[in-house]
Chains A and B, each alone.
Chain A
Amino acid sequence: DQQVKQNSPSLSVQEGRISILNCDYTNSMFDYFLWYKKYPAEGPTFLISISSIKDKNEDGRFTVFLNKSAKHLSLHIVPSQPGDSAVYFCAASGLNTGTASKLTFGTGTRLQVTL
């Protein structure tokens, strides 16, 4: 049972444009969400997070939006740069689910930023 879903395996965006990566979750006990970026043969690196008490968090070119009622979050990258080309994982955790120390990951979306 995939509790965190990233339905788009890949996305191609032109340099300078906006990249929008989507993530859906099914477990209503999740209350903290993170995005990780991963290059081939490397470990994921933390990008940005959001708590369920917020609906938006911004850090430079990266903004994460959370829609709790829809159980949906999205990562916006503006403007997209070639160095953003990587696999992006959405992850979730919940304080009250006994999973405070565990992250549940989505399957990832491969972003390619073209020139």
Chain B
Amino acid sequence: DGGITQSPKYLFRKEGQNVTLSCEQNLNHDAMYWYRQDPGQGLRLIYYSQIVNDFQKGDIAEGYSVSREKKESFPLTVTSAQKNPTAFYLCASSPGTVHNSPLHFGNGTRLTVT
């Protein structure tokens, strides 16, 4: 079945360590996105990529980095510079602009940093 796979579902790290969250899609979508969800807040955009080897900062990119070497993959690295990394991270994809098709989301990774 086509979809978006985020792994792992739960991730625990010590403060000061970088951690990379995986996102893979087999929908043949051009665009991919990373959002973060915190309690009582909406989803906030971290980074997005409209084509391979290109990506743009979202609203809260500080302390994060991404790469888009393959169409299917858009990993997110949470660096030690991110002040509040504990959150629920959601990856999404779309064929093009959202006007053509809504975003399809993965089931998320809950990251806990202690």
Contacts and interface: CB of A to CB of B under 8 A. Distances in A.
A49 B96 CA distance: 16
Interface residues of A, number: 28
Interface stretch (A11-19, A55-63, A71-79, A100-108): A100-108
A77 to B, nearest CB: 18
A45 B43 contact: no
Contacts, number: 71
A42 B107 CA distance: 4
A104 B58 CA distance: 10
Interface in B1-57: 4, 6, 9, 31, 33, 35, 40-45, 48, 50
9 contacts: A34-B102, A43-B107, A43-B108, A44-B90, A93-B97, A93-B99, A105-B35, A105-B43, A107-B41
Interface of B: 4, 6, 9, 31, 33, 35, 40-45, 48, 50, 58, 90, 92, 94, 96-99, 102-108, 110
